[in-house]
Amino acid sequence: MISGPRRLAGLLLWLLLIPAALPAAEWGGVTPGQSTQDDVRGLFGPPTRERSGREEGYETREWLYEGEAAPAGLIKLEVQFGLLGPEGFKPETVRALILYPGANRFPLASLQVGWGRPSQQGTDSKTGRPTLIWDEGLVVFLDKEGRWAEEMYFVIPQLPAAQ
């Protein structure tokens, strides 16, 4: 992972290496595993900042949209590029889309209306925040009281949780 919370570094590294074939969760017209840099640029324009990195020997990129460049209702939008699949490494394919919404922009009830019941839920061991996971590829960290989303990770779909 180039930057951001280290608690998801393992998850995002796994996502770099193992794409799934489930329908993906999308946001704002961007679908991880399908959308490209050109798609993102067409939707949001040029990023306010770009970063390059290297994971498992592959060059990755990260685009940040902050302040006025962030989509309405967001403090920041982070888009990570670089996905390894059966056809090889695709450096321009979106691996993850990370939303940092303002307080109360995505209340818990809205998340459940928009994406249904999460497949898994728990508490982040480092921050104590409630965490929700949908198999379609959405991971949400709520505020400590569990009222609204503080971070929303749209990633490639995950294998369904064991029932």
Mean pLDDT (the chain, rounded): 85
How far is it, in rounded angstroms, from Cα 163 to Cα 160? 8
Give the pLDDT of residue 24: 59
How far is it, in rounded angstroms, from Cα 155 to Cα 126? 21
Percent of the chain with pLDDT over 70: 82
26 pLDDT band, cuts 50/70/90, is: confident
Q: Would 107 be classed as within a structural domain?
A: yes
Would you say residue 59 has pLDDT above 70?
yes
Q: Would 160 be classed as within a structural domain?
A: no
Q: Mind listing the pLDDT tens digit for each residue in 88-133?
A: 999 999 999 999 998 889 999 999 999 999 999 999 999 999 999 9
Q: How many domains does the chain have?
A: 1
Q: Would 163 be classed as within a structural domain?
A: no
Domain residue limits at 25: 6-155
Q: Would 26 be classed as within a structural domain?
A: yes
What secondary structure does DSSP assign to 71-86, as a single string?
A: PTTEEEEEEEEEEEET
Q: Mind listing the pLDDT tens digit for each residue in 61-98?
A: 999 999 999 999 999 999 999 999 888 999 999 999 99
Q: Which pTM does this prediction carry?
A: 0.81
Enter the tokens of residue 4. 């951001």
